[in-house]
Amino acid sequence: MLRDVTAVRYVTPLRSGGSVPGVVEADDLGTYVVKFTGSAQGRKALVAEVIVGELARALGLRFPELVLVHFDPAIAADEPHQEVRDLHAASGGLNLGMDYLSGARDFTPDLARHFPVDPVEAGRIVWLDALTVNVDRTVHSSNLLVWPTLGTVPPRLWLIDHGAALVFHHRWDGADPEKVYDFRHHALGHYGPDVRAADAELAPKVTEELLRAVVAEVPDAWLTDFPTPDLAREAYVAYLHARVRASARWLPTDFPTREELAAENAIKAARTEASRPKWLKRVPDLHGEPAAEQDWSVHLG
């Protein structure tokens, strides 16, 4: 079961994502990245974090420990930004924390060019994302960390940030466990992910018993779509179990190479530039000098 801890010191907000999580120290001497119940993404993002994260761990993928964090907004009273203080005020009580991997680096495209990823490991990660409909692990936002980055232990990939997964729970009446999603631009797509081997290995492990154990970790207060939390848990189990049994239908196998991705991005950039109004492409010099050949879109977005 997820451990309960109490936040005793607020360290800093993290503004890299829309939910503005915060780094806190807890009474177990651990440091955690806390995702707050009062964020714009709401409690469903935390439900997805728990289910996908604990399923990843059960399948042998690297994922930081999750804890339930009791948070008192008073410990962050010195936070200077009003919008962050408002977030804290709306999040008193139980929140979700992830073990803070000190010194970890984001798995960016630049880093990816020099970091070897085994096709088998890539296949497992892509398979999990396809099962849980996590379409938010792309070449532009990998939601992967490389850690550790110092010492004698080789650096490894760690999965983080699954709040955008389980998209079906935003509209239960249209949930189709056989639906195919586009994973061509997955962050690990150009490593030749062996998703067929991953399917053969992992699909038999995702049993109803495992899914029930994983979903049981979600606090009752975060499960509000059904008359009771138990009915909500059964809905998650039923959908994910049906989806894993239909893996032959949704298994992603078409991944472009780096060169193909670069060509696609160049075409998209050219189309975007062609669709810009002329006044964004070239702004005349307002001081009477001849207009310079200048791309003002860099400055005006």
Per-residue model confidence (pLDDT) at position 266: 82
Element housing 163 (H / E): none
The CA distances from residue 290 to 17, 43, 282, 293, 295, in Å, are: 42, 56, 12, 9, 15
Over residues 160-172, the mean pLDDT reads 97
- CA nearest neighbour of 189 among 257, 105, 281: 257
Per-residue model confidence (pLDDT) at position 281: 57
Q: What percent of the chain has pLDDT over 90?
A: 79
Higher pLDDT, 18 or 221: 221
pLDDT tens digits, 174-210:
999 999 999 999 999 999 999 999 999 999 999 999 9
Over residues 68-95, the mean pLDDT reads 97
Per-residue model confidence (pLDDT) at position 288: 45
Q: Does position 36 have pLDDT exceeding 70, yes or no? A: yes
pLDDT tens digits, 118-140:
999 999 999 999 999 999 999 88
Mean pLDDT (the chain, rounded): 91
Q: What percent of the chain has pLDDT over 70?
A: 92
* Token pair for 85: 């203080």
CA separation for the pair 227, 224 (Å, rounded): 7
Per-residue model confidence (pLDDT) at position 279: 57
Q: Does position 65 have pLDDT exceeding 90, yes or no? A: yes
The pLDDT-based confidence of 278 (bands split at 50, 70, 90) is: low
Amino acid at 17: G
Q: Does position 169 have pLDDT exceeding 60, yes or no? A: yes
Over residues 231-257, the mean pLDDT reads 96
The CA distances from residue 255 to 188, 204, 244, 261, in Å, are: 9, 25, 21, 9
Q: Does position 290 have pLDDT exceeding 50, yes or no? A: no
Per-residue model confidence (pLDDT) at position 131: 98
